[in-house]
Structure 1
Amino acid sequence: MAFKKSELQRAYRTMRVIREFEDRIHSENSLGNVPGFIHLSAGQEASAVGVCWNLNREDYISSTHRGHGHTIAKGCDVRAMMHEIFARASGLCNGKGGSMHMADIGMGMLGANGIVGAGAPLSCGAALAARLRGTDNIAVSFFGDGAYNEGAVLESLNLSKVLNLPIIFVLENNGYGEATPAEYAVAGDILKRAEAFGLVAEETDGHDFFAVEAAARRLIKRAREGKGPALLHSKLSRYYGHFEGDPATYRPKGEVDAIKKERDSLMLFRRRVEGDKLLTVAQLDEIDEAVIAEIDGYIVEAKQAPPPAVETLYRDAYGSY
C-alpha cells in the first residue's frame, strides 16, 4: 500500500505519542505522582497503530491491562487519558477508571481490562452486534501470550468460528506472561492452535508498522466481506516490567537494550521513510518536539485538575440499557 506523506506523518506521530505517553507516566510514577496500578506498552507501538490503521470509529476494540497504546491508536482523547491516569474528574472515565479500565465507547474502545483474556468475549459480542445490524463493521480483541491459555480466549475463538463473526484476535506476544517465558508456558504452535478452530492465522513482526499494517489490512478486509474470524500473531517486546515496580530480573541481561538498538519500532519506521526519501529527518524531529511539548502540557494540566467530587462516587456505577 502506498502511503501519502500526511499518512506517514500521522502514523509516526501516533507511535511517538504512545512512546512519550508511556515514558512520561513511567517517570511520574517513579516520583509517586500517579495513583493506582500501571502497566506500560512502550516498545509495542507499531502493533497497536498498525492494527488500528484500517479501523474506523464504528469498529470496536477490546484491550488488556496494558491498554494505553491501543486506546491512543484507536483515536481516543490523549489529554483526557492523561487526566484519567491522574484520577481527575476531567479524565476519559471521569477519573474513576484509571489505567486498567480506560474506555471510550463512543470511539469504539470497549475498555482496557484488569482480567486476563476478558476482552475476547466482549469483542465477540461487538462483532455479533455488527453482523446482526447488517453493517460491515468489525471487532478486534487484543490480548497477550499469557491470555492465549485462558479459557475465555479459547472459548471466544470457538464461538467466533461457530457464528462466523467479523472479528480479528490480535495476540501481542511480548515473550513473557508476567514473569513466565511464553516459550515455556504456551504449548504447541500458536498459529496451528487458531487454525484448529478453523480461523485464518498469520504471524507478523510487531516492531514493524508496515508489516503489521499489511497483515492487519488483509485480515480486516476479509472480515468486512463476511469471510469470518482470524488471528494475527504479533511478535514484539515491552521495554518496562510487567507492571510499574517490577524489576524484571527474569529477563536476560541486556535483552531490552539489544531490542532498543536493533528492533525499536520508531527507529525502524524512521529508517524506512528516511531511506525511501518519504520523510526527512527534520520533519520527523519536528513531530518529536511537538509531541513532547503536547504531553508536557497534559501532565501539567492533569496535576492541577480537581479529582472527582465525593457526591459522584456512585454515579456511573449503573446504567440503563
Structure 2
Amino acid sequence: MRKMLAAVVSHVFSGVTQKPAMRGLLASLNFSNDATCDIKKCDLYRLEEGPPTSTVLTREEALKYYRAMQVIRRMELKSDQMYKQKFIRGFCHLCDGQEACCVGLEAGINPTDHVITSYRAHGLCYTRGLSVKSILAELTGRRGGCAKGKGGSMHMYGKHFYGGNGIVGAQGQVAEAYNISALWKLPCVFICENNRYGMGTAIERAAASTDYHKRGNFIPGLRVNGMDILSVREATKFAAEHCRSGKGPILMELQTYRYHGHSMSDPGVSYRSREEVHNMRSKSDPIMLLRERMINNNLSNVEELKEIDADVRKEVEEAAQFATTDPEPTLEELAHHLYYRNPPFEVRGTNKWIKYMSVS
C-alpha cells in the first residue's frame, strides 16, 4: 500500500516539480510544525522571576515574523532611496536594524491593546496594521497616507496606535510618568529601545549608568535582547501579564541597534566606525538570526525564504509607485480633522482674510 501511494505521488508530481510553487509544496511536506528554541535570559530588576529561557516557535509564526521583518527592512531602505530622490522631505527617522523590536512587541500583546510611541515608528505603524502603501504615501505627503498626507514620518496614527509623535520624553517627564503610574498602579509597559546612541552620542558618554531597565527606580524592569524576536516576544508577554494581573507598571529595555544614522541628515559614521555597523549586521542582524533559526530547525528552507523576499520586494515597489503618483491633499483640506466628531467650523489661515472649513 505504501509503495502504491509513493508511486501515485511520484506520478502526480513528475514533470512539474521544476515550478517554484510546486517545489515549495513538496518541500513543505517535510517541514517541522514547530521547534523549541532557547533564548537569552533577561536581566531582572525588582523581580523574583522573569520570562522563560526557551519557547516554542511554530512554522506559521516563523513565516509571519520573517515576512513582517523583511517588509519593514525593505520599506525603510526604500524610504532612504525616496528621501535621496527628494520624494520625501523634512524629518525622517529609519528603524532598519530594530525590526525584532516592533514585530516582537506586536507578537506579545493583543490587537486591542493601545500603543503610544515617539518617532522612528515606521515599523510599529506596519505591525499595528497600517499598509506599506499608507506609510510610504504619508512619507511623501499624499492623500493616501495614513494621516492624509499631513503628518509625515513623525506623525502617523492607526487603530489603537498613537504614534510617530515628534516629542521625546525628557528625563523630567519620564520620571513623572514613572511616578504617577506606580502611584496609581496603572497597567502600563514602558519601553526603552536602546539602540546605543542618543542622536550622535554613545550612551556610555552621556549616561553615568546605562542600566536603563533600572531607571524606573521603584518600577520593576527587564533588560532584553532586542535583536532576537523571540526574546522580545516572550518578554512582552511577561510584561503584559504583569500589568494585566494588577501589579502595576513595568519597564523593558530592548537592547537593539540602528543601521542608519539618527535621521536622514546624519550619515551615522562620524561617531561610530563602519566596522562596528558591519559587525552588528554580520553577527546580530535580527532577520539573519530568525532565518538561521528557521532553517536549522527545519521550519523553512532557503528556497521558500527567497520566494518570500521576492514577494516583499514586489509589494514595497508597488507601494512606492503609489506613494510617488498619488495626488497631494488640496489646500481646501488644510484644516480638516482638527477635532474628532465636531460640527464643521471656520479656521483662519495665515492671512486673516482667508478662512478654511474644518470637518472631522
Calculate the TM-score normalised by the size of structure 2.
0.77
Give the AA of the match of 2:175: L
Is structure 2 residue 84 aligned with structure 1 residue 30? Answer: yes
2:222 is matched with: 202
Query: Is residue 118–residue 164 contact of structure 2 (8 Å, CA) maintained in 1?
Result: yes
Structure with the greater alpha carbon radius of gyration: 2
Report matched runs for 1:75-94 at 5 Å: 75-94=129-148
**Contact 1:82–1:302 (CA under 8 A) maintained in structure 2:** yes
Q: Once the 2 structures are TM-superposed, how far is the Cα of residue 278 of structure 1 from its aligned partner?
A: 1.3
Structure 2 counterpart of 1:116, from 126, 151, 168: 168
Q: Which position in structure 2 is the counterpart of 1:174?
A: 195
Q: Which residue is equivalent to 1:129? A: none
Q: Does 1:254 align with 2:306?
A: no
Structure 1 residues 242-296: Cα deviation after superposition (integer angstroms, max 9, x where no partner) = 0002122111341111110111110011011111111211221111111110000
Q: Which amino acid aligns with 1:286?
A: E
Q: Note if 1:40 corresponds to 2:94.
A: yes
C-alpha separation between the residues in 2 aligned to 1:179 and 1:35?
21
Distance 1:256 1:300 in 2: 30
Distance in 2, matches of 1:55 and 1:212, equals 11
Structure 1 alignment gaps of length 5 or more: 118-148
For 2:118, the equivalent position in structure 1 comes to 64
Q: Once structures 1 and 2 are overlaid, which stretch shifts more, 85-94 or 2-11?
A: 2-11
1:4-23 correspondence to structure 2 within 5 Å: 4-23=58-77
Give the alignment partner of residue 226 of structure 1, picking from 220, 241, 246. 246
Q: Count the aligned residue pairs.
A: 286
> What aligned pairs does 1:91-110 form with structure 2 within 5 A after superposition?
91-104=145-158, 106=159, 108-110=160-162
Q: CA deviation at 1:320?
A: 4.3
Q: What is the distance in 2 between the residues matched to 1:258 and 1:100?
A: 29
d(CA) in 1 for partners of 2:307, 2:251: 36
Instruction: Could you tell me which runs of 5 or more consecutive residues in structure 2 were left unpaired when the two chains were aligned.
Output: 1-54, 343-360
Q: Distance in 2 between matches of 1:34 and 1:311?
A: 22
CA distance in 1: counterparts of 2:247 and 2:130, whole angstroms: 29
Q: Distance in 1 between matches of 2:215 and 2:91?
A: 32
| Counterpart selection for 1:300 from 300, 318, 321 | 321
CA distance, structure 2, for counterparts of residue 92 and residue 244 of structure 1:
21
- Counterpart residue number, 2:215: 193
The alpha-carbon deviation at position 38 of structure 1 amounts to: 0.6
1: distance between equivalents of 2:139 and 2:222?
34
Aligned-pair distance for 1:21? Answer: 0.5
SS at match of 2:307: helix
Q: Distance between the aligned counterparts of 1:192 and 1:99, measured in 2? A: 30
Q: Does 1:213 align with 2:255?
A: no
The DSSP-based 3-state class of the residue aligned with 2:190 is strand
Residue 93 of structure 2 is aligned to residue 73 of structure 1: no
CA contact (8 A) 2:88 2:140 kept: yes
Distance in structure 1 (CA, Å) of the matches to 2:321 and 2:132: 14
**Contact 2:95/2:121 (CA < 8 Å) preserved in 1?**
yes
* TM-score between both structures, scaled by the size of structure 1: 0.86
Letter in 2 for 1:23: L
Residue correspondence of structure 1 range 116-155 to structure 2 within 5 A? 116-117=168-169, 150-155=171-176
Shift of 1:97: 0.7
Give 3-state SS (helix, strand or coil) of 1:35's partner.
Answer: coil
Give me the whole-angstrom Cα distance separating, in 1, the residues matched to 2:116 and 2:314. 29
Secondary structure at 1:170's aligned position in 2? strand
TM-superposition CA deviations, 1:49-92 (whole Å, max 9, x none): 11111222211111222110111122222221111111111110
Of 172-181 and 220-229, deviating more is 220-229
1:55 aligns with 2:109: yes
